[in-house]
Amino acid sequence: MNNYPKIGIRPIIDGRLGGIRESLEETTMNMAQDVAALFQSELRYPDGSPVQCVIADTCIGGVREAADCAQKFEAENVGVSLSVTPCWCYGSETMDMNPLLPKAIWGFNGTERPGAVYLAATLAAHNQKGLPAFGIYGEDVQDMGDRFIPDDVKEKLLSFARAGLAVAIMRGKSYLAIGSVSMGIVGSIVDADFFQNYLGMRNEYVDSSEVLRRIQLNLFDQDEYERALAWTKKYCKEGEDFNQSHKVKSRAEKDNDWEFVVKMTLIIRDLMIGNKKLKDMGYAEEAHGHHALVSGFQGQRQWTDFLPNGDFSEALLNSSFDWNGKRAPFIVATENDSLNGVSMLFNYLLTNKAQIFADVRTFWSPDAVERVSGWRPTGVAQHGFIHLINSGAATLDGTGKQKYEGEPVMKPHWEISDEEVEACLAATTWHPANLDYFRGGGYSSKFLTEGGMPVTMCRLNLVKGVGPVLQLAEGWTLELPENVNKLLDERTDRTWPTTWFVPKTTGEGAFRDVYSVMAAWGSNHGAISHGHIGADLLTLAAMLRIPVCMHNVESPRIFRPSAWNAFGMDHEGADYRACASYGPLYK
C-alpha cells in the first residue's frame, strides 16, 4: 500500500476556560471533522484511494496543545496543515510553526465570536515570522454552529489541499535521468540544485546502456513480457510505413523492433519503481529501482541513431493503461527534458490525469491557414491556433476518446472504462519510425486529439539571475475540417500525434492574441493537462516559491498566501518579489 502524505487539520479554540472554551469545543471540532469529510469525499491520491486526514486529538487553545498536535502530525506522515476556527484564539501561541508544511487557515465568517479576527491576527504572525500561509474566509456571514461549507470556502479549501498534497508527494522522491543531454535541449541538462531546493527531490542518473544491458541479458519479467507482446500485437495497430522505399525495413526487422520496444517499456518502468520479480531472478539490486516519481529518456541522438526509439515506451508509460489494465500513468519526459517532466508532474499531481508531452510547434494565423488550405478559420479558431505535436510519445489518453456526458475528456485512471481504453487504442496507429530522424527504427504513435476539451498548457523554465519561472495558458483543443487538418498536419511529420490548441486571450500582454502566446512561450516543449487548472498551478507555484511569468487566469480565481499582499498591488510583480524574498522552500 502506498504511504501517501496526509492532510493535518488543526481545530483552533479560544483557550479561556470557565465558560468560553467549553462553549466552543463541539463547534470547533465539528469544523475540523466537516473539512476532513470534504477532503475525503472530493480528493484522491494517485492510486485512486481517498485522501486521508489526521485531526488533532484535542482542540488547540495554547502552545502545549499546538506542540502535541505537531508531534502527532509528524508521527502520522502529515504533509499539509490546515487550521480551522470559528472564534478568536491566541494567534502566535496556536499557529503551525513547521516551515516545510504548506499552511492555510479557515477563519469562520460569523459575528458571535468571529473567526475572522483570529484569521487576520494569525496571518499577520505568519507573515512576520516568514512562514507564509493561505487565508480562507467566506464571503457571507454564517451563524455560529452552521456546518454548511459555502462554495467559495470549499473552492479554496480544495485548491489549497490539491496543491499542498502535490508539494508533499514530491518531497523525497526522485527524478530519474536515463541518458544525458538530448540534442542540446537545455531542459535535459538536469539541474540538481533546482530539484533539491525547490521540490525537495533528489536526482538519479542511469546511462542509456543500462537499458541495453537489461535487454541483452533478459533482465525483465519474461512472463510479463510475453503477455505485453501479445497485448501489443492485439491492440497496437501498425500504420503505414512512410519511409523512402530504399530505407524500409524488412518484416523480420520490424517484428524485432516491436519486441525491442516492448522490452524497453518494461525496463524503463522497472528502473523507475523497481520490480520484486527481478529479485526472484537473482538481481536484488536492480529490483529496487530508483524511487522515481518522474523520469526522462534521452533517446536522441546517440541511442536512436542505431537502436529503436523510445516513442512507444514513453507513450504507453504516460498513458493510464497497458497490458496490466488501467493504472496510474508514469510520468516520462521525452528527450530527458526534465523541466517539461516537472511541468507534467505538476499537472498530474493536481489532477491525477495523464499528461500530453508536446512540442509547441507552429502558430497558424487565419491568413496562413487560408493561403494553404483555402479555408478561413471561424469561431473559437478565428484568430488562429497553435499546433502541438511531438515525436509520437504522447499519452494515448490525449486522443480524447474518454467521454463525460458525450464530451471528450481525460479521466483519472479509476474512472476510465474498458471501452474507453479500447477506443483510445483504436484511435491510435503506430507507424514505423521516420528513419531520417530515427536511424535505429522503432514505432511512433499517431492520433488526432478531439476538439472541444478544456486544457491547460504549462512549462517550467530556469532563467539565469531569476531561477525557476512557470508559465501557463488555459484554452481548448480544436477540431479542424478533415481536409484542412490533413493539409496542415502533413506539412510536418505525418507519423506523430497532433493536438490543435487555442488559448484564451485577454487582449493584453502575452495573451493579447494567439500569436503573442506562441511568441512568449519560453521553450520548445509544453505539458498539456485536461481541464482549466491554471488557478491550482498558481497556488502550487506560490507554495514552492516559483514565480509565474505568464498566465491567463482571471483575477478572482488567483489564490496565493496572505503575505503576497504585502509585496505590492501589481499581483505578478508581487509574486516575483515574494518568491525572491522567501527563497526556495527547501534551502
Catalytic annotation, residues: 335, 359
Using an 8 Å Cβ cutoff, are 459 and 511 in contact?
no
Strand blocks (E) in 365-518: 385-389, 402-404, 407-409, 429-432, 443-446, 454-463, 467-478, 498-503
User: Is residue 14 within 8 Å of residue 113, measured between CB atoms?
Assistant: yes
Calpha distance 466→443 (Å, rounded): 40
Report CA 219 to chain centroid distance, whole Å: 31
Q: What does each C-alpha distance from 247 to 194, 397, 429 come to in angstroms?
A: 43, 32, 20
Cβ atoms of 242 and 431 closer than 8 Å: yes
Cell numbers that stand for 470 in this block: 512557470
What counts of helices (H) and strands (E) characterise the chain?
A: 19, 23
Is 474 one of the annotated binding-site residues? no
Residue 564 makes CB contacts below 8 A (sequence gap 6+) with 132, 542, 571, 574, 575, 578
CA–CA dist 44, 46 (Å, integer): 7
Closest CA to 584 of 475, 478, 462: 462
Find residue 416's DSSP bridge partners.
none
Q: Give CA–CA dist 262/269, Å, rounded.
A: 11
Separation in Å, CA 397 to CA 14, 319, 327, 389: 50, 6, 12, 15
490 is annotated as contributing to ligand binding: no
Question: Annotation-wise, does 422 bind a ligand?
Answer: no
Q: What is the DSSP string of 295-321?
A: EEE--TTTTTTTS--SHHHHHHHTSSE
C-alpha–C-alpha distance, residues 304 and 442, integer Å: 9
**3 state SS of 500:** strand
User: In what helix (H) or strand (E) does residue 284 lie, and over which residues does it extend?
Assistant: helix 284-288
What cell numbers appear for 374 in the block?
Answer: 483555402
Nearest CA to 188 out of 99, 303, 352, 97 is that of 303
Q: What is the grid cell recorded at 184?
A: 542540446
Q: How far is it, in rounded angstroms, from Cα 165 to Cα 563?
A: 21
Helix (H) or strand (E) holding 55: strand 53-55
Distance CA 421, CA 438 (A): 28
Query: CA geometry: angle at 53 spanning 49 and 54, to 5°?
Result: 145
Q: Is the dihedral of CA 493, 497, 502, 504 positive or negative?
A: negative
Distance CA 115, CA 403 (A): 43
Q: Give the CA angle between residues 226, 230, 236 to the nearest 5°.
A: 135
Please name the amino acid found at residue 44.
Answer: R
Q: Residues within the annotated binding site for Mn(2+)?
A: 335, 359, 525
